[in-house]
Structure 1
Amino acid sequence: MTNQKHLFSIEEGLHYLNGAAYSPTLKSSVERGIEGINLKAVHTHQISGKDHFILPEKVQKLFSKLVNIPDYQRVAIIPSVAYGMATVANNFHRLPNISEKKHIIQIQDEFPNNVYAFDRVCQNHHLTYKTIVKPDVFENRGKLWNQHILEGITTETAMVVMPHIHWIYGVKFDLENISKRCKEVGALLIIDGTQSVGALDFDIEKIQPDALICAGYKWLLGPYSIGLAYFSDFFDDGIPIEESWMHRVESDNFAKLIRYERAYRPKAQRYNMGEHSQFIQMPMLEDALTQLLSWGVNNIQNYTKSIIENPIKELQELGCWLEDEAYRANHLLGVSLPISIDNQSFTDKLMQNKIVISNRGVAIRVSQNIYNVEDDLWALVEVLKGSF
């Protein structure tokens, strides 16, 4: 795979290594968004009842192909990860033997959305959070953390909520084995795929989570305020957050709307957000997903490996620490700087040199994609060399 920067409108001379915060938008997606604006603003008379459903269905099918979901009707269109997690919380009470459960497992330094979503659940069901802490060592940290998660899942575990890739440290978690352990003890597995799906292979059939929830504006290259979620059969017949007319059977037939159909559309379709047609954002997301499938996530992962390989060696020689290759991905790196280097001062210095990364306090996060080249990483290395 070759560099694809020409497909994006990235400022010349900018070293953008912050795709884990916000991805740039494809030029073609911007064009689709403008078409969507004009559809609503100018060509409103051309919008039919079926148009509310046709494009969302295409997007659900594209996402299903991206993460190997056999049935696209298990995909819901959501506005945010918080909305997806709230849907999980809203249906948590349906877990069998819930009275025998004692805790929800989370990992240390989890993204706030995935913590706040279940505070009320814990209160209502007399559960506690069981946090699997990050090992206080660098050597074999990813391996040890994964082991501790598996050891922490017991018959008292009600649910495990975790990411595929840690949003700060870049640690990759062994979701297949974690899922197997959850099934052994009757616990739900809820995955935040925001920092992996679109840049790293994720296979629903292999992992078999109960839910996979993804924001669209990072590695899916989509616009802000739209995302996608997979819900397993655990959520069939569950309670949606919104009681939208669009959730209902035959809601595409506008002549029948006042018959007030109580039956929902199949499977996860009751969990779509209201007004999920999104005439501006939906075409943009469709374009982005189509492009990702054309590239192939494995090709993206291999490309990012090729541009980080040599700069990483130099960073390590300069005293930086990164996770072992077996327990990290190539698109998102959590870099621990030498103790003599202040994270914030270094981040500011990078910005002065038009190098954009994220300072996450305990580490800096360097996240690259197919719009980057190796020189972007070397630019960061050169600033570090001048910081001692």
Structure 2
Amino acid sequence: MSLQCQKHLFSIEEGVTYLNGAAYSPTLKSSVEKGIEGIQLKASHTHLIKGSDHFALPQKVQKLFAQLINEPDYERIAVISSVSYGMAVVANNLHRLANLSAKKHIIQIQDEFPNNIYAFDRVCQKHNLVYKTIAKPNTLENRGGMWNQAILEGINTETTMVVMPHIHWIYGVKFDLEAVSKRCKEVGALLVIDGTQSVGMLDFDIQKIQPDALICAGYKWLLGPYSIGVAYFGEFFDEGVPVEESWMHRAESDNFAQLIRYERAYRPKAQRYNMGEHTQFIQVPMLEDSLTQILNWGVNNMQNYCAEIIEKPLKALQELGCWVEDSANRANHLLGISLPESITGGVPHNQAFTEQLSANKIFVSNRGVAIRVSQNVYNVEGDLWALVEVLKKNL
């Protein structure tokens, strides 16, 4: 299947060149309609809400996300509010790791998103752990390959856990998760993946990678609304401690006539990690709609579409003095582009250039050390050429 531009399915303002899906995705028109229906259900049609809806509605999202990541068991999927919530689940259960007293550090990568650092501060203090940061190589040539190798070399028997993304949120570097997972299993360390900048646009196969947890915000590449996400939790978490003690976490909680017969047992697998009120009558149908659309498109088709529209403009940017990670160590939907010194003056903040882009209604992210250009199926090749033209005028 070869995709064509899907912009007609979104309500992007006319004249806007939106290359910032890694910050917030636009919302599908069909998802907006589902959200309005959810508002109306709670506002005017509350008599139509059935007790079974509390479980049936989120199960649709769990099953779709399980399909997206090739996980056969939807009960391993939890509906969460945010990445910080999912990381809190991990932090809440780290004490259960075998031989924790012999472990000394948690591995992070340099310039990680703050959520994935702050989540484990208290855990480190409590269990006398430290962060071990794997630095970004101080070179541009084969930077991604060297960074991946350094991560593998940094994992040892003192490693408690590796917390890392699939795609770096600033640089666009793609990490070799299969190799990292294999190394973690060799040393008895957990592997926790933040899939926010990849899942929904780049193939992620739970069966191949076998992480202990995969945590994703919904409002970026899953094209969903804000304040909802999804997470996979593997066997390590099956008897763990949830962040919240919701009545919906408990076994047989769908039997409303028996709710005051308090049940101590939890629902199976990851179902104890759902956020409270995870039915979310507005957000859940919206996320269900966007996941359905992504599965219909196919993430490989989406990734290939992005490869096609960036190929020629990216070559032009490189000829103008920009630098981007080589194709072997990056994906095609998120590019960390270093601008030529004639633009930055040797100061890597890029503010003046991104303001110039905004003035031309071209929207990217300024991340200081790079501009982040992130395209999706609502973009066309001409959107990238528009960026090239602004760069030419500033040289």
User: Normalization by structure 2: what TM-score?
Assistant: 0.98
Of the three residues 378, 382, 391, the one matched with 1:371 is 378
How many Å apart are 1:121 and its aligned residue? Answer: 0.7
Residue by residue, what CA displacement relative to the aligned partner does 1:156-198 show, whole Å, maximum 9, x if unpaired?
1000000000000000000000000000000000000000000
Deviations 1:321-351 (A, max 9, x none): 0001000000000000001213100000000
Name the residue aligned to 1:253. 255
SS in 1 for 2:336: strand
DSSP-derived class of the 2:232 partner: strand
In structure 1, the partner of 2:363 is 356
Residues 117-137 of structure 1 show CA distances to partners (whole Å, capped at 9, x for unaligned) of 001111011011000000010
The one-letter amino acid paired with 2:123 is V
Q: Deviations over 1:79-133 (max 9, x none)?
A: 0000000000000000000011010000000000000000111101101100000
- The one of 126, 129, 154 equivalent to 2:128 is 126
Question: What is residue 347 of structure 2 aligned with on the other side?
Answer: none
How far the C-alpha of 1:318 sits from its partner, in A, is 0.3
Kindly state the Cα deviation for residue 254 of structure 1 after the two structures are TM-superposed. Answer: 1.2
RMSD between aligned alpha carbons? 0.4
CA distance in 2, matches of 1:262, 1:279: 27
1:359 Cα shift?
0.1
CA distance in 2, matches of 1:238, 1:199: 31
Is 1:287 aligned with 2:294? no
Q: Which AA in structure 1 matches 2:387?
A: L
Cα distance between partner residues in 1 of 2:77 and 2:342:
47
Residue 141 of structure 1: CA displacement? 0.1
Equivalent residue, structure 2, for 1:208: 210
SS in 1 for 2:54: helix
1:380 maps to a residue whose letter is L
Moved over 3 A (4+): none
Q: How does 1:1-388 map to 2 (within 5 A)?
A: 1-342=3-344, 343-388=350-395
| Per-residue deviation, residues 211-243 of structure 1 (Å, max 9, x unmatched) | 000000000000000000000000011000000
| Distance in 2 separating the partners of 1:366 and 1:349 | 15
**Which letter does structure 2 place at the counterpart of 1:47?**
I
Task: State the number of aligned residues.
Answer: 388
> What is the alpha-carbon distance in structure 2 between the residues aligned to residue 232 and residue 240 of structure 1?
14
Deviation at 1:378, TM superposition (A): 0.2
Distance 1:88 1:331 in 2: 28
Q: Point out the more displaced range, 244-253 or 196-205.
A: 244-253
CA distance in 1, matches of 2:48, 2:255: 16
Residue type of the alignment partner of 2:132: K
Deviations 1:45-98 (A, max 9, x none): 111110111010111000000001121000000000000000000000000000
- Which string of whole-angstrom CA distances, capped at 9 and with x for unpartnered residues, describes residues 293-326 of structure 1? 0000000000000000000000000000000100
Q: Under a length normalisation based on structure 1, what TM-score does the superposition of the two structures give?
A: 1.00
TM-fit CA distance, 1:375? 0.4
Gap runs ≥5 in structure 1: none
Gaps spanning 5+ residues in structure 2: where? 345-349
| Separation in structure 2 between the aligned mates of residue 363 and residue 202 of structure 1, nearest angstrom | 26
Identity of aligned residues (%): 79
Secondary structure of the structure 2 residue equivalent to 1:155: coil
